[in-house]
Structure 1
Amino acid sequence: MRRTTMCASAALLISLAVGCGDPQVDSEGLGIFGNVKVAPLEGGGPQARPTDPEMQAKPGGPVLGVIQMAVHIYERPDHRSDKVGYLRLGVTVRRGTKPAAFDSCQGGFYNILPRGYVCLDDGATIDLNHPLIRAGLKQANRDHPLPYDYAFVRAIAPRYYRLPSEKEQFKYEMSLKRHLRSFKRLKQKWNAIEVGSNDVPIDEIGNGLGPAPEDPPELTEGEKFGGDGSDAIPWFFDGKRKLPNVSNFKVPDYAVITNRIKRHAGVALIDAFEGEGRHFALTTDLRLIPTSKLKPGRGSPFHGVELVEGWELPVGFVKRDRAYDHEKRGGRFKKLRKRYAYGAAIQLTGEVRRDGSRRYVETEDGSWMRTRDLAISAKLSKLPRHAKDDTKWIDVSIHRQILTLFEGKTPIYTTMVSTGKDGLGDPRRTHSTPRGTFRVRDKHITNTMDSQVLGSEFELNDVPWVQYFKAGYALHAAYWHTEYGRPRSHGCINLSPIDAYRIFRWTEPRLPEGWHGVSVTEGTGKGTIIHVQP
């Protein structure tokens, strides 16, 4: 990832993280939203749990809804207390009947489940008839490796503020007649999909179960871009726009378009429908993009292996497009016809042999494979000090491009990753992943990042399962590539969506139901250890 990483959720979140590799920020003690440590409350401040029963949030109680892209959750009903997490646009959570405090918040701080306080003035409401609550916006799916439907911008595209008429489309989209003619001719090719992350069955803890299906599901055009298949125009876009602007690009209410989005950008989508002669997709910040200028992005079906039921270290993952078995004859090796696809997991015995300058490893069935074709997850020769009892920790090897989950001394899951493309360079000067022992600092279901490909900047919206551990460096899913096993990033640790989902569910702190992000504070406990070694 690029060395500037911006939180997706509007201006109030911009101070969250400075990106994979930015050397300018001290990560020690940073909360989920900002680089300034909060001054301690005199006398401890208001109680973390209200004593008045009517102020306490309870199951089945009244709800509070979010009407901005994100709203902070505070440890106590005071803006000076720790920010323990945040809620995303459109979500509703249980709240207390009465506000717990009004200090610095005219609308009142409400206690919410399972903990914490939200100030109504920050972008929340108890009016369930508010259009942003009544809209019933699709929330991130916490049961799938990709929490939204994703797409990539095929050509520079408008971000419409409301549903444009046909005349307005031709006004704001250059060479539209030629584009629509090409789309009509090439639609099947342009919108073809492959098997993706969400097509692989997963178990209750997030492990991928077996190989991916051979064929992708049959989807309508709308379903490929976040729709439910009905293609019906939502009430809030039927006629004029009936929702307030929540994006960080400010426009007057009468606007047709906000701005344009560059080619190759990745976007998360929550609906799609047909209107004014075309299909339009709705992004998470409630702007419209014509689907003829999008390509479905379905994420890689690759995933690691749980180290049970026949799997143990060492394990190899095929990291090249094609890799072959070899037969050992005397001291020489001969290539056989058996071919392995990228991402295949192979149980190894630990035996290694050389044939001249080539190294080979033995597989469980007695054949041999070249080490250059594999990312190898091997047993660690020496465990770090924190490998004791049932302590959860993550080991990342930059040289091997391997990540392994441990509980104490026991490895429980292993997979391929992509770390910084400059290898073991200085993270302050190169696109390298920092080495050392860290802890998870904050976690996000999704977060938006800037990136760079071939010198051309573009956006990567709503990157899934982000876990920051040092300044702007994070573990996260990469839905835009399938090059795990090879250094590629601008310093972050890239994972397949399935692996990122599996790890996110396992690490501490846990993300409460309804929250979009959680930060490590005294109340949430310590984050899981991340040990990055050469």
Structure 2
Amino acid sequence: MSGVCKLYGMRQSSGRASGASSIAGAFLVLAFIGSGCGASSLFGDTQGRSTTRGASTARVDATATEVMPASAEITADGSTEAEAPLPPGARVYAYDGSEKIYVKPDTESPPIGLIRAGASVPLAKEEPLSGLGVGLCKGNFYAVKPRGYVCTGRHSTLDGTDPRVRAAREVLPKADSPLPYRVGILVASSPQYGRIPTADEQRKHEPGLDAYLAKRSAGKIVSPKTSGSFDDAKANRGPSKAFTQYVETAKPSLLSEEEAYEGRKMSFSAEFDVDGRTFLVTPNLTLVPKDKVYFVDTPKLKGVNLKSGELKFPFGYTWIQDTAKLKKQQDGEFKETGDVYPRQTFVQLEGEIVRGKRGANYWKTADGSYIRNELVTVFKANPELPKNVGKNDKWVDVRVTWGTLVAYEGTTAVFATAVSPGQDGISARSHGHPTTLGQYQIGWKLGSADMSGVEKRKPWAVDDVPFVAYYKDNYAVHAAWWHDDFGRPKSHGCVNVAPNDAHWLWHWMDPVMPEGWYGVASYRPEAKGTTILVRP
């Protein structure tokens, strides 16, 4: 299925997802159908064969998620701190992939939330549920805050000292960061190791390893065509006690079923040295050799806070290149001043578009200079509320052909930025990547999700895509760290947003993420999703 993106969320150790799962009635239907940024079910089947994985939980407010312990952070000097204390109170802890939160104490009822491995959710009552209306469960059903029920035993426990929980806590995302993990691209294929491999095992499962390391040392490895660098620094520490005890207890196999193949985009939470080689720890507690990873620089684009009065409509965005400032001459000609607006600059415009000689059009800017119309994207206000959106409701206006996004509260614009829609814009074609037009609501919001697909018969994958908000099937607004071309069509149909802007939008959009949750569903009346209006 060429060019179709699959979302497989968070992986469990028990296998791959199969089939589709939906939230019926008033709940969002998650029947991923091979369009947009994903094609497989978020939850997998009812036998626990979900491929949902231990992905990030980003914060909505000061209490929305747990902080990644300092012992797991990748620091410049390799220093570490003691393992972070457990959060207070009785809680349910996920230890493998993700745990579902159900609307009723019954695994046949719709899921309304997720807890990722390492995170925890406070119990509403410490006593397990029993009696009429409580479904079958491997362990026990517990009511959790602020709503819903969790069945412990398969992917979760009440014991925060469980070695699987402790290890997973070390790879939780960095709290309040636009990019919760360190990210990079594989420049050579490698297994994802489930435990620390011996030197012989590395040579067996990484064919040509010695030749590769020699080439790498000589600087002869071709870098991906994106801003970034290799990192040869050592971690200056070994594996943590929690990771070691996890391996001794869980006894993971040497090789994960998913390979870290060349070109795969991956996320990393920690690193350690073993016998002269440094290994990166993924959020799924697998290991990847650091010498095979090219680390990508984070895009720096930041949108406009319209509440602050920083800019007002209309304003422009220099999406193509550094854009020359022009001065209008007495004869009507426009000449360059020698100054430029750097690429990815938001520019205050004044008045209406000015027609010059030979058919060229120009905008006057706040500093008195002019810029060519075709070199800027222009942000304009949308004065009309979408259908069924109240005067105080949040909603988002996406213009596909303009590459713009504006967030509103009622009729007040509060935020704006440049985005990258589908590669084919609004044009539908076989195996194409358009962005579907229409009015939708956020149905699921996740801290991060894995996405993968096949393009021109080659597999591709991006692990732990941050700040994902699904609004139609597999179409989502989400962060994109692997390119810096915001304003240009780049995606497989989703709305790509720079990490800084995705971080802000994800926190602002509804439904609100409760404490400790990794994913939250929108359903009335408990959790309403923000409206997304996608226009040409």
After TM superposition, is the score higher than 0.5? yes
**Change over 3 Å in CA distance of 1:386–1:358 after alignment to 2:** farther
Structure 2 match to 1:483: 485
Structure 2 match to 1:200: none
**Alpha-carbon shift at residue 83 of structure 1 (Å):** 1.2
Q: Distance in 1 between matches of 2:37 and 2:491?
A: 16
**Alpha-carbon shift at residue 34 of structure 1 (Å):** 6.8
Matched, 1:352 2:328: no
Matched, 1:184 2:198: no
Q: Distance in 1 between matches of 2:521 and 2:114?
A: 9
Judge conservation of contact 2:441–2:529 (CA < 8 Å) in 1.
yes
**Structure 2 gap segments, 5+ residues each:** 21-29, 47-86
**Change over 3 Å in CA distance of 1:254–1:155 after alignment to 2:** closer
**Alpha-carbon shift at residue 259 of structure 1 (Å):** 5.0
Structure 2 match to 1:74: 102
**Alpha-carbon shift at residue 23 of structure 1 (Å):** 12
**1:132-171 → structure 2 map (5 Å cutoff):** 132-135=164-167, 136-171=169-204
Judge conservation of contact 1:162–1:257 (CA < 8 Å) in 2.
no
Judge conservation of contact 2:4–2:455 (CA < 8 Å) in 1.
no
Matched, 1:336 2:333: no
The one-letter amino acid paired with 2:426 is L
> Secondary structure at the residue paired with 2:212?
helix
**Alpha-carbon shift at residue 150 of structure 1 (Å):** 1.4
Structure 1 range deviating more: 98-107 or 285-294: 98-107
> Secondary structure at the residue paired with 1:327?
strand
Structure 1 match to 2:145: 113
**1:377-456 → structure 2 map (5 Å cutoff):** 377-380=379-382, 382-386=384-388, 388-426=390-428, 430-451=432-453, 456=458
**Alpha-carbon shift at residue 149 of structure 1 (Å):** 1.6
The one-letter amino acid paired with 1:352 is I
Q: Distance in 2 between matches of 1:503 and 1:316?
A: 20
Judge conservation of contact 1:21–1:432 (CA < 8 Å) in 2.
no
Report the RMSD for the aligned CA atoms in angstroms: 3.3
**Change over 3 Å in CA distance of 1:282–1:187 after alignment to 2:** farther
Q: Percent identity?
A: 29
> Secondary structure at the residue paired with 1:280?
strand
> Secondary structure at the residue paired with 1:186?
coil
**1:503-514 → structure 2 map (5 Å cutoff):** 503-514=505-516
**Change over 3 Å in CA distance of 1:20–1:358 after alignment to 2:** farther
The one-letter amino acid paired with 1:306 is N
The one-letter amino acid paired with 1:76 is K
- Residue by residue over 1:135-169, the C-alpha shift from the partner in whole angstroms, topping out at 9 and shown as x without a partner, is 23221234011122212111112211211122222
Structure 1 match to 2:7: 6
Structure 1 range deviating more: 79-88 or 9-18: 9-18
**Alpha-carbon shift at residue 412 of structure 1 (Å):** 0.9
The one-letter amino acid paired with 1:99 is P
Structure 1 match to 2:317: 317
Judge conservation of contact 2:420–2:489 (CA < 8 Å) in 1.
yes
Structure 2 match to 1:63: 91
- Residue by residue over 1:223-247, the C-alpha shift from the partner in whole angstroms, topping out at 9 and shown as x without a partner, is xxxxxx55322235559932537xx
Judge conservation of contact 2:232–2:291 (CA < 8 Å) in 1.
no
**Change over 3 Å in CA distance of 1:12–1:60 after alignment to 2:** farther
Judge conservation of contact 1:160–1:258 (CA < 8 Å) in 2.
no
Q: Distance in 2 between matches of 1:428 and 1:114?
A: 44
Aligned length: 474
Judge conservation of contact 1:279–1:292 (CA < 8 Å) in 2.
yes
Matched, 1:94 2:122: yes
Following TM superposition, the consecutive aligned residue runs of length 4 or more in structure 1 with deviations greater than 6 angstroms are 187-191
The one-letter amino acid paired with 1:391 is D
- Residue by residue over 1:279-338, the C-alpha shift from the partner in whole angstroms, topping out at 9 and shown as x without a partner, is 000111111110000011342110110112331111211112322111111322112211
**Change over 3 Å in CA distance of 1:255–1:433 after alignment to 2:** same
Q: Distance in 2 between matches of 1:76 and 1:428?
A: 41
**Change over 3 Å in CA distance of 1:82–1:237 after alignment to 2:** closer
Q: Distance in 1 between matches of 2:173 and 2:401?
A: 34
Structure 1 range deviating more: 141-150 or 506-515: 141-150
Judge conservation of contact 2:521–2:527 (CA < 8 Å) in 1.
no
> Secondary structure at the residue paired with 1:171?
helix
